[in-house]
Structure 1
Amino acid sequence: MENIIFNNEYSNVTKEEQLQNFFSAFDSDRVEKLVEQVHGHKQKAIARAILVDYPNLVNTDLFSLKILVELLDDADYLNTQCRECKREGNLMLYSKLLKSKLDVYSKINTILVEFGMTPKSRKSILVLDMEEE
């Protein structure tokens, strides 16, 4: 059974339900600001896909999210290049590209953890429900 956060006569809200509410609240105007800052159709599509799941976007997050979008685009490019080198049998270039690809993935993971977008970091989020009286 999930951890019940609120257990009273009016509501029974689990932590997962509260996290879902937290992750679904974002400002669509800020989404467009981020999408305008990235270049190319592919990066714009990546930005829109990320922001569907990103919680409570604030202006200070735009720069980090822009970096994340660019890193994801770079990872896709490096994957394509690695496949080509592997197919051609160019082991020297493949190993150099693989090292760069792993570095990019590490940076992507760091940003995802900071934003609470990985399963482990998501579970550590504590959402406080402040009700106005």
Structure 2
Amino acid sequence: MNSLQPLPDRGLVNLLNQRGKSGDNLPIPFEQEIFLLEVQIAGTSHIDYIELTLMHMQVGDRLICRREPDNYHDEWAIRFYTLDGEPIGYIPKKQNQILARLMDAGKEIYGRYQSQEKRGDWLKVMVKVYMRD
């Protein structure tokens, strides 16, 4: 006879097993933010009022990434948005295919605002891109 018996689900184990069932937004154990690359946002000159949109951004502020698989110019397009839903540009075409594939596979990709610099009529915006895993 085997004297080893499984322990009953209690405490943290029970909470983790219930994650998502009761609407709780508990963090996943060992979840981490993985830095992938730093990019200069593309398309900022095509966004109306981008300077107003970015006026209150602080270094490290989170940006949402959304895939645009039906984008006419780029099937791998990923667009950055502020948390208020304001568009601010794209991950450059030469750097987006692997990130788009990760997003299509269900990975959470997002940005963190780094800086902006006005160059004539053009606004250079730098963002660090991360994956949550």
> Which category describes the TM-score, using the shorter chain as reference length?
under 0.3
Q: TM-score, normalised by structure 2?
A: 0.26
Greater relative CO (CA pairs within 8 A, separation 6+): 2
Q: TM-score, normalised by structure 1?
A: 0.26
The structure with the greater share of residues assigned to strand is 2
The structure with the greater share of residues assigned to helix is 1
